[in-house]
Amino acid sequence: MKGVAWVNSLMNNDDNLSESELATDDEEKDTQLGEGTGEISTRSLLLGGVGFLALLTALYAIVQAIGIDNLQQTIADAGALGPLIFIAIKALTFTFAPLSAGPIQFASGILFGVEAGTFYSVLGELIGGCVNFMIARHFGRKLVEKFVGKGAMKRVDEFYERFLDDWKSLLVARVFLFSVYDFISYAVGFSRIRFSVYVVVSFIGGLLPTYIFVRVGSEASQNQDVLLFFFVAVGIVFFTFVIFRRPITNVINRLHSKTGL
């Protein structure tokens, strides 16, 4: 009888453990789903802000150490090769997911001037995005997954389901989700949106957000007061979010439910 009682006790413990594990798994799934419904974590916001400020600070330090005149003269001496190399690198960062386009996009205004830097950045993104589009449309999911990885492939599928009804939804994604437009470009390749529509929307929709980022990088890297302004602004945004996190999250979730963004 004692042996039977001992076995029953072990089985009960296993059942309790399984229920606990299941509850933990459910909580993890809920957390993952929460991230997809517009909820922003304090950690994500903090890391994004720190990364943004670190990038601006690094650019400022480089420009002050080398001198903007020396940097621009180096680009001028390279002739047409300078813009071509920049555009090629920008396109590569759009196609290969592990590469980041942020640093060179911020630096483009310093190297070429704000207007030319904006044009070269958008052109590089367009070329890289067209490559993404063609890979997805003509070679399918298996090859796309090799470029972006399994984890990022979930994001590609999510963008395909949410934003690719027509050119209007694509334009909204291009303007407001420019930081992940490389993934969206792959997703467009899976959709019925025509290639010509993708090209026009991607170029026109990319001008404004790219111009803003190029201008910010150019100004902050040359002017200490502008850099200080962004430190203060990011700090205000972060602490405002921490204090008013619940109402802000509610507003974001409402917008998400209405627009899908």
Length of the chain: 261
Residue 163: helix, strand or coil by DSSP? helix
146 token code pair:
């090799």
Structurally, the chain folds into a number of domains equal to 2
Could you list the residue range(s) of the whole structural domain that residue 260 is in? 225-261
Can you tell me the distance from the alpha carbon of 131 to that of 137, in angstroms, rounded to the nearest whole number? 10
Q: Are residues 150 and 240 in the same domain?
A: no
Residues 45/235, Cβ–Cβ less than 8 Å: no
Residue 8, token pair as written in the block: 């029953």
pLDDT by residue (tens digit) across 214-255?
A: 998 888 877 878 878 878 887 787 778 778 777 766 766 665
Spell out the alpha helix ranges (H) of the chain: 2-35, 42-66, 68-78, 81-95, 102-112, 114-139, 141-148, 150-163, 167-176, 181-190, 195-222, 224-243, 245-259
Give tens-digit pLDDT for 122-151: 999 999 999 999 999 999 888 888 888 777
pLDDT digits (tens, 9 = 90+) for 165-186: 788 888 988 888 877 888 889 8
Statement to judge: residues 168 and 244 lie in one domain: no
For residue 18, pLDDT over 70 is answered with no
Residue 260 lies in a domain: yes
Considering the domain architecture, whether residues 203 and 243 belong to the same structural domain is answered as no
For residues 37 and 259, the answer to whether their CB atoms sit within 8 Å is no
Q: Is residue 139 part of a domain?
A: yes
**What's the pLDDT tens digit per position in 22-81?**
343 333 333 333 344 445 566 766 777 777 778 778 878 888 888 888 888 888 898 889
pLDDT, residue 40, reads 56
